[in-house]
Chain A
């Protein structure tokens, strides 16, 4: 992959490459700062506009929006005590009290530096770890790939907040949706009910935007309107001096490490990392007793960890084609829409693209510092924008985006239907990430299963006999599936004792 670095840098240095990095980061920060939009909706909103771009700028735009939105969430958390994204919820705990005592600029300064450090380290982790993991995965045949995708599917369990059964059910719906249309091996039509519009299957993007963005608008209209806190006095970011960092490096390093480790684990997410890191900071920081009353270490713990997750989460996504959360599932969907098959061969088949993504991700995290300083002043008044304008614009922009994919009005219908179904399911506590994961990984799961059955003369048991990697991956998948039940049993035993 190193040999492809000059070509990758050449892609980044084109006008399109630079524009994408800067505009994507700007858009990410602004959208992330708007309470309720969140990283997933932000990425889903931008996704359709990437389809007219070439592969590398398309992915870089989404990465920039992703990293920018995670940082942007801290602006709302500190200035109006409402996390722009769930990842920034822990930042409210110390960011807002600090802002209330007139140090909003400094609080955002701590958040900005911690975010940049967390993001940069995670970019290095991604660059080092992903190719190693991908090189190992090159040994995989169809059977090992099937077992790997099966393991990937089990991350549905960990992204299923609330009910594992409902998460798995949403995953099955997603896999089923991926089977509609032509059979991937013999090409015969399935579940099209003689509707020629379904011959090519459901448009992935229309479904993704429907279940995330459109259903969010419906969820918002169904929820009682919330009052936000007043905007505190804010005159721009003030970066902490080097002397102010004295005694805080250990906390920063620990938070970055926690973020990276949690990021690599599929399904845990930045919000979890931020709270674990905050709890660890509160336990081990020399300023522990001041946590919750505007302590900079609290902001550093949360922001360094949540930004460190971004690169970590991309490791299994890029190296193995396994999305760890909703955002990386959308990224994989983008790769699919650009004709790239996610999976272990992703790095080997597309070295220049992957090198450009890695180098671009590093640059995006560097850009967070100057753009964060510039944009926080602009973003502050936007925080007061009325929900009505934002939600209506989301519907209009999503329609524009979905229409551009194939110029087919049928896709708009699919988006509308997916939005309504997404709303109905979300009201019943169904998570939507498993549905998208199922739809993205479904085709590979089916193809590898059927290829494997050809290789083993139709014996499924033979998948795991004589294929040690498949056996280990299969056992890991079983363990991941059984984990919630084991945890439940342990909790029951503890409660009885």
Chain B
């Protein structure tokens, strides 16, 4: 059972299904151009076919061997940082650079083992603050600012 239901199989199956879905989506597209070789989906279809073929080979290889995944020290740390990174990259555009960066640093530093709250807060304020000062006010290359103030 472990040979079928594991992280490797899930990832390869995901890749195979993604390619299949993308390939299927090419049939719903209609173009004004004539001639199969000059169709905008001609080249992507070749690539998607190769993608599916390779994913299938990799999947079969994976099912035939029971190679374990690299161990993860603590999964919760990975998940927290992963979610924090995704939210962080999503909210910069709306909330500005400084505040999301400060929050991200306050999450990231303890995850990497910094326990002293003073150090965490000092870094979380000083590093994003220095970047805002440098780019927004020094180099006039403004980073996104928050909805509360134009200063950061």
Residues of A within 8 A of B (CB): 52, 163, 165-166, 168-169, 172-173, 175-176, 179, 183, 185-186, 188, 190-191, 193, 214, 217-218, 220-225, 386-389, 391-393, 395-397, 399-400, 403-404, 409-410, 412-413, 415-417, 419-420, 423-425, 427-428, 445-446, 449-450, 453-454, 458
Contacts and interface: CB of A to CB of B under 8 A. Distances in A.
Interface string B66-107: 000111110001100110011011101110010001001100
A223 B48 CA distance: 33
A224 B135 CA distance: 35
Contacts of B57: 165
A482 to B, nearest CB: 15
Interface of B: 7-8, 11-12, 15, 22, 25, 29, 31-33, 35-38, 40-44, 47-48, 50-51, 54-55, 57-58, 61, 69-73, 77-78, 81-82, 85-86, 88-90, 92-94, 97, 101, 104-105, 108-109, 111-114, 123, 127-128, 131, 135, 141, 143-144
B144 A409 contact: yes
A434 to B, nearest CB: 11
CB-CB nearest 5 A-B residue pairs: A409-B93, A416-B89, A388-B112, A183-B40, A172-B51
B42 A169 contact: no
Contacts of A419: 85, 89
A221 B8 contact: no
Contacts of B128: 396
A413 B100 CA distance: 14
Contacts, number: 172
A428 B81 CA distance: 19
A414 B113 CA distance: 28
B85 A214 contact: yes
Given A392-B109, A396-B131, A403-B144, 17 more contacts: A169-B15, A172-B47, A172-B48, A173-B15, A179-B47, A221-B112, A222-B72, A222-B77, A224-B71, A387-B112, A392-B108, A396-B101, A403-B97, A416-B85, A419-B89, A453-B37, A454-B37
Nearest to B9: A428
A274 B23 CA distance: 43
Contacts of B71: 224
A218 B47 CA distance: 29
A191 B25 CA distance: 8
A427 B25 CA distance: 29
Nearest to B48: A176
B143 A403 contact: yes
B88 to A, nearest CB: 7
B45 to A, nearest CB: 10
Dominant SS among interface residues on chain B: helix
Contact of B89 (A191, A397, A415): A415
A193 B41 CA distance: 14
A135 to B, nearest CB: 30
A193 B35 CA distance: 23
B15 A225 contact: no
B130 to A, nearest CB: 10
Nearest to B37: A453
A222 B70 CA distance: 9
Given A165-B54, A169-B55, A450-B43, A396 B127 contact: yes
B85 A420 contact: yes
A397 B127 CA distance: 10
Contacts of A403: 92, 97, 143-144
A420 B82 contact: yes
Contacts of A165: 54, 57-58, 61
Contact of A450 (B42, B51, B81): B42
Contacts of A413: 89-90
Given A165-B54, A391-B112, A420-B86, A400 B31 contact: no
Contacts of A193: 25
A395 B85 contact: yes
A190 B44 contact: yes
26 contacts: A163-B58, A185-B38, A186-B32, A188-B31, A190-B41, A191-B44, A217-B81, A220-B112, A221-B111, A222-B78, A224-B71, A225-B113, A386-B114, A388-B108, A399-B101, A400-B131, A403-B92, A409-B92, A409-B93, A412-B89, A412-B93, A415-B89, A419-B89, A427-B70, A428-B11, A445-B43
A389 B97 CA distance: 18
A186 B58 contact: no
B38 A186 contact: yes
A145 to B, nearest CB: 15
A427 B109 CA distance: 23
Most buried by B among A396, A446, A450, A458: A396
